[in-house]
Amino acid sequence: MPASNFQVAFIIQPANSKLIQTMHCYEKLSSLLGLACHPNMQDWELENANPDRLPEFIHAYQTSSFSYHEQHALMGLILASFNDYLAEEAAPDSAIEHSICALLEQQWQDFHPLVRYWSLLDEDLDDEFPITPIMRKLWAQHFS
C-alpha cells in the first residue's frame, strides 16, 4: 500500500530542519541588522551582542514584522546586549529596562524561557549576570 502524503513528507523531512530554520532566521536578522553569521557560530545572540546598538535592536523589534523564530532570536540578542549594557553602565537608563521588560511581558508565553535562562534560578547570586536581578524580578511577578 502506498504511503500517504503525510508519511512521505515526514520521511523526507531532514533531521536537522530546526537547525536549518534557525540558521535562516539568523541569516535574515544578520542581513537586516548588519551582524555576523556563519555556520561555526555557537551562540549567535551572544557573539553579536552590542550594548551600543541596543536601542537599534529594540527599535527593529518594535517596528518590523518578524516570524516567531525571528522574534525569539532578536529578543535573545536584545537580552544579551542589555546584559552587556548593564555590565558597562554605572548609571543605566531605566527607560531601556522598562522597554525590554514591556516587550517580554507582551509575549510572556513565548519569552519566559529566555527570562528563566537569564534569571539563573538554580544558581547562587554570587555567579549572576548583570541582568539576573531584573530577570528574577520579572520571573517572580509570574511565578511567586
d(CA 115, CA 93): 20
Q: What is the pLDDT of residue 18?
A: 61
Prediction pTM value: 0.85
Question: pLDDT truncated to tens, each residue of the chain (144 aa)?
Answer: 444 444 434 444 455 556 666 788 999 999 999 999 998 888 999 999 999 999 999 999 999 999 999 999 999 999 999 999 999 999 999 999 999 999 999 999 999 999 999 999 988 877 799 999 999 999 999 987
Q: Which three cell numbers stand for residue 125?
A: 547570586
Q: How many whole angstroms separate alpha carbon 26 and alpha carbon 62?
A: 18
14 φ, ψ to 5°? -65, 145
